[in-house]
Amino acid sequence: MKSSLATELTFACALIFAMAGCGRSPAPPADSTATATPPATVAGDFRAPLGVQLWSFRTLSGNVPTMLSTISGMGFTHVETAGLYGKTRTEFAEALRTAGLKATSMHVGYDDLKNKPDSVIADAKALGVEYVGIAWYPHDSTGFTPANARQAVQDFNAFGKTLKAVGLKFFYHNHGYEPVPYGDGTLLDLIIKETDPTLVSFEMDVLWTWLPGQDPVGLIAKYPGRFKLMHIKDMKPGQPRGSLAGGIADSLKVPIGAGQVDWPALLQAAERDGFTEFYIEDETTDPVRNAPQSLAYLRGMKYR
């Protein structure tokens, strides 16, 4: 293990201990095959399981054992995947087991799900996930159009039918370019309304809901039962909303509890609505330090 990584891991675990009262041993070394340590003590009102999207640790992805042991050392027990990191499906499944992690959801590319569904299904079965979804729908630089949205509805229903037939669940992860005004709502409304709720669920990415000016709590109330998963992330106070770009600089993203979103109100609404999976997705410039801060904040958070 490089000394800089060791320092970061020690700092990360210390944050959990200090901020959440975590009375457990420090994270195991990056090359350890030990199982996950217990999660941070739940002192607050949010009681749902908290996972992490593996994209959060993209800077460690060149060394899969290091990446996974870092995650388990922070107290996470389940993950959402984003590719196989150069491994075969069998190798990656074994790496997760060795680290004491369970994959519950996976992201795949649109082209893979459309053109290679058998391979996607084989990956999902090997990893043992319940949900399979995409986080981007093809559209050109002029913006997301009604034609894009209507084609997405057809594709999503087809994907959902294919996956349901083999015991899997399809979801679409919104990405901030969809809330183009349309009729009495937006193109995101169009997609939600016209997809089959028995075939298509949604993963609410909170930042990409918040940035375009949408109300996450309002969307949950408007479409009860349609959102099943959540990506938990936020941006710096003072940063303007209203962008349909589908992205902002990593330097504008912050640990949970340090940004703009009213997390107690949102997570209480999500729990009441029956969301089944919650994943911290840390896209800040220093996820190894910041993800434990987010975890500790959420575990200590009180509803009003």
Kindly report, residue by residue over 268-286, the tens digit of the pLDDT: 999 999 999 999 999 999 9
Mean pLDDT along residues 27-33: 34
Q: What is the CATH number of the domain that holds 72?
A: 3.20.20.150
How would residue 41 be classed by pLDDT, with cut points 50, 70 and 90? low
Higher pLDDT, 121 or 12: 121
> How many domains are there within the chain?
1
- 7-28 pLDDT tens trace: 343 334 333 333 333 333 333 3
Percent of the chain with pLDDT over 70: 86
For residue range 237-258, list pLDDT tens digits in order.
999 999 999 999 999 999 999 9
Q: What tokens appear for 189 in the block?
A: 């409304």
Q: Is the per-residue pLDDT at 187 higher than 70? A: yes
Specify the pLDDT at position 43.
Answer: 84
In this model, does residue 81 exceed pLDDT 60?
A: yes
Distance CA 82, CA 2 (A): 25
Q: Does 50 score more than 70 pLDDT?
A: yes
The string of pLDDT tens digits covering residues 206-219 is 999 999 999 999 99
pLDDT of 136 over the 80 cut:
yes
DSSP string spanning the chain? Answer: --HHHHHHHHHHHHHHHHHH---SPPPPPTT--PPPPPPPP--SS--S-EEEEGGGGGGGTTSHHHHHHHHHHTT--EEEEES-TTS-HHHHHHHHHHTT-EEEEEE--HHHHHH-HHHHHHHHHHHT-SEEEES-----TT---HHHHHHHHHHHHHHHHHHHTTT-EEEEE--SS---EETTEEHHHHHHHHS-TTTEEEEEEHHHHHTTT--HHHHHHHSTTTEEEEEE-EE-TT------SS---GGGEE-TTSSSS-HHHHHHHHHHHT--EEEE---SS-HHHHHHHHHHHHHH----
Section 88-102 average pLDDT: 98
Between 37-41, 96-100, 147-151, 235-239, the lowest mean confidence (pLDDT) is in: 37-41
Give the residue-averaged pLDDT of 110-122: 98
pLDDT averaged over the chain?
89
What's the half-sphere exposure (Cβ side, CA atoms, 13 Å) at 71? 37
> What pLDDT does 33 receive?
32
Is the pLDDT reported for residue 29 higher than 60? Answer: no
Cut 0.75: pTM above it:
yes
For residue 285, CA distances in Å to 3, 20, 46 come to 19, 23, 26
Percent of the chain with pLDDT over 90: 85
Residue 38's pLDDT is 40
What is the domain extent for residue 122? Answer: 3-300
